[in-house]
Structure 1
Amino acid sequence: MDERNNRSISITVDIEDWYHIPSVCGSDFSVYKNVDDFFERWGKRYDYLSEPTKKILDLLDEFNVTATFFVVADVAEHYPGLIESISERGHEIGCHGAHHSCKINPKTKEPLMTIKEFEDETLEAKQTLEKVSGKKVIGYRAPNAVVTGEMLDSLERIGFKYDSSVSVNSLYNKTDSSLRGVSSVPYHPAPCSLEPGGNRTFVEFPWSYYDIGAKIPTSGGPMLRFLGSQVILKGLKQSLNRGHTIFYFHPIDISNEKFPDVGRGRPFYWAVKGDIVEKRIRHVLKNLEHIDKIPLKDLVR
């Protein structure tokens, strides 16, 4: 890892649309089996992603931030020119899976695909993103942050240099590990594990948390919508005292449009979004203006 990882932050953006969430596509409780099934059966407007992504790109320019964008690879097919526009603005392109499907069931931890299926699908996604963006893709973020040590080994085998999916907190654990040795500080995972201790160059960039006796997840994303910017900012600042940390959000978080009323099990998922979330993102970036902001690719060898 680069020496600049002390008290710096990476601003990361997950490029996915409303139908990529588990209640709509790709889970055992979703309305559609997968994204292909969605596009075969959905005959209405689907693109609620392009417009807020353009707003995010302008916002990052305003704050002079170069970010890492973790992109679901099927965006290349359904949103012509969107990935290119991100790359042309100088941002890093990372991989957020082929279709935003999980490798394991987040509750039971049972595998949903074989190692070979995961590696084949993810390598194809990596190559698609590289072809479209014209840039090498070395970073990965697991769809829905559901990640295992075995996945990290697979990622390293197919050419990735880092992952940023691990979220240590007291509310949920989307991994197959206890994460006892993990904090918010970047580390080298042990083989077939998410615990630190690996003699390898592959890096895990875990997310921030706010430790108040219980650990509150504060890297952003849905928690930015649910908890507000003050709690998120406190967690980011506390994590910065430990070392490098992560802040992330989705362009659709700032969309003012009403998404299609599709999905099971998460009726309040989009209850807070739009201008209020954009103001929260601006508040966080304004309060961290003095902190170095480094795309993740610049922190690995």
Structure 2
Amino acid sequence: MQVHNALTIDVEDYFQVSAFERHVRREDWERLPRRVEANVERVLALLAERRITATFFVLGWIAERHPSLVRRLSEQGHEVASHGYGHKRVTDSTPDEFRADVARTKRMLEDLTGQPVTGYRAPSYSMSSATPWAHGILQEEGYRYSSSLYPISHDHYGDPLAPRFPFAPLGPEASLVEIPIATIQLGVRRLPAGGGGYFRLFPYVLSRWAIRRLNHIDQSPAVFYFHPWEIDPDQPRVSGLPPRSRFRHYLNLDKCFARLSRLTEDFAWSRMDDVFAEAIFGHSPDRATQARTSAALLPKASVA
């Protein structure tokens, strides 16, 4: 039986990444050219061509300025989930600030789509043992799952001690589940398998091998993510970046879309709340969910 993996897109623009915090002021965001809508439309064309539904973790800041885009995501059968409002790391927030952020964004996205928002992803995977209060706040605000942990060691994000597979961070009786980004275990080494910069850095065959291993050896679906700006080699260049940040952000932007196209052909994909329905809701996707997904699939279109 073919494993369905979870395809996720973190909807933010090129100037909002955490690595640019010291080089692009938040107060300047409004005057910078926004490219997120055109990039997301290109992604939507690819998903329609492949008849795939996915989960889009949308920043509230983006949703306020592109409400019709958020509505289109939902209308085309994709899951709209929360990425918080302004891409502020959880580790840089107080519990009260975090609560206000996730509550505000959830209401905004639900008002735009008319659908419940059950999923959350922290900016820069910034939930960890340093934020023990965060999962409890998400549950209290009505979220059913978080996908905010990348259980690897990295200088910018990650929690190498976190579980690799879905778990209940608040205990088995709680309603919230954490669903980590995909990794594989080779002996004592844990390696990334869930996309992002690694997908652009290493040859595509390594990502394909890792996801196949996860599907067949671990018998588990993979959670894969990318950003719309990663398929945009013509985005404006931010000046003054340190060499490491420049390398990481701009590496292989011209190759990423072709790799994503191969990825969508080589594996089966769906939205988070379908792939992990049993972990999130306690049951497999029901007939209503299946009918909703089938009805939302678009006729084949040419990939932009």
TM-score by length of 1: 0.82
The share of aligned pairs that are identical, in percent, is: 25
Provide structure 1 residue ranges, at least 5 long, that are not aligned to the other structure. Answer: 105-111, 192-196
Q: Which moved more, 1:278-287 or 1:197-206?
A: 197-206
Aligned to 1:284: 263
| Aligned mate of 2:237, from 260, 270, 284 | 260
Q: Take 1:18 and 1:170, find their aligned partners in 2: how far apart are those partners? A: 24
Query: Does 1:240 find its partner at 2:215?
Result: yes
Q: Take 1:295 and 1:18, find their aligned partners in 2: how far apart are those partners? A: 24
Aligned to 2:20: 24
Query: Does 1:272 find its partner at 2:251?
Result: yes
Going from structure 1 to structure 2, the CA distance change for 1:228 and 1:131 (only over 3 Å counts) comes to: farther
Going from structure 1 to structure 2, the CA distance change for 1:281 and 1:117 (only over 3 Å counts) comes to: same
Partner amino acid for 1:205?
Answer: I
Q: Take 1:283 and 1:76, find their aligned partners in 2: how far apart are those partners? A: 29
The count of corresponding residues between Structure 1 and Structure 2 is 269
Aligned to 2:140: 157
Query: Does 1:38 find its partner at 2:38?
Result: no
Going from structure 1 to structure 2, the CA distance change for 1:115 and 1:170 (only over 3 Å counts) comes to: closer
Q: Take 1:154 and 1:235, find their aligned partners in 2: how far apart are those partners? A: 33
Q: What's the CA shift string for 1:99-136, capped at 9, x where partnerless?
A: 111021xxxxxxx2211111012100111111122221
Q: Which moved more, 1:241-250 or 1:139-148?
A: 241-250
Aligned to 1:109: none
Going from structure 1 to structure 2, the CA distance change for 1:270 and 1:175 (only over 3 Å counts) comes to: closer
Partner amino acid for 1:164?
Answer: S
Equivalent pair of 1:12/1:68 in contact (CA under 8 Å): yes
By how many angstroms is 1:146 displaced?
A: 1.0
Going from structure 1 to structure 2, the CA distance change for 1:170 and 1:177 (only over 3 Å counts) comes to: closer
Q: Take 2:154 and 2:25, find their aligned partners in 1: how far apart are those partners? A: 28
By how many angstroms is 1:32 displaced?
A: 4.1
Partner SS state of residue 58, structure 1: helix
Partner SS state of residue 270, structure 1: helix
By how many angstroms is 1:142 displaced?
A: 0.6
In the TM superposition, 1:59-78 aligns within 5 A as 59-78=46-65
| Aligned mate of 1:294, from 250, 254, 270 | 270
Partner SS state of residue 249, structure 2: coil
Equivalent pair of 1:12/1:69 in contact (CA under 8 Å): yes
Partner SS state of residue 147, structure 1: coil
Q: What's the CA shift string for 1:119-164, capped at 9, x where partnerless?
A: 0121001111111222211100110111134211110110000011
Provide structure 2 residue ranges, at least 5 long, that are not aligned to the other structure. Answer: 282-304
Q: What value does the CA root-mean-square deviation take over the aligned residues?
A: 2.3
Equivalent pair of 1:205/1:245 in contact (CA under 8 Å): no
Q: Take 2:250 and 2:237, find their aligned partners in 1: how far apart are those partners? A: 13
Equivalent pair of 1:48/1:259 in contact (CA under 8 Å): no
Equivalent pair of 2:59/2:83 in contact (CA under 8 Å): yes
Q: Which moved more, 1:247-256 or 1:258-267?
A: 258-267
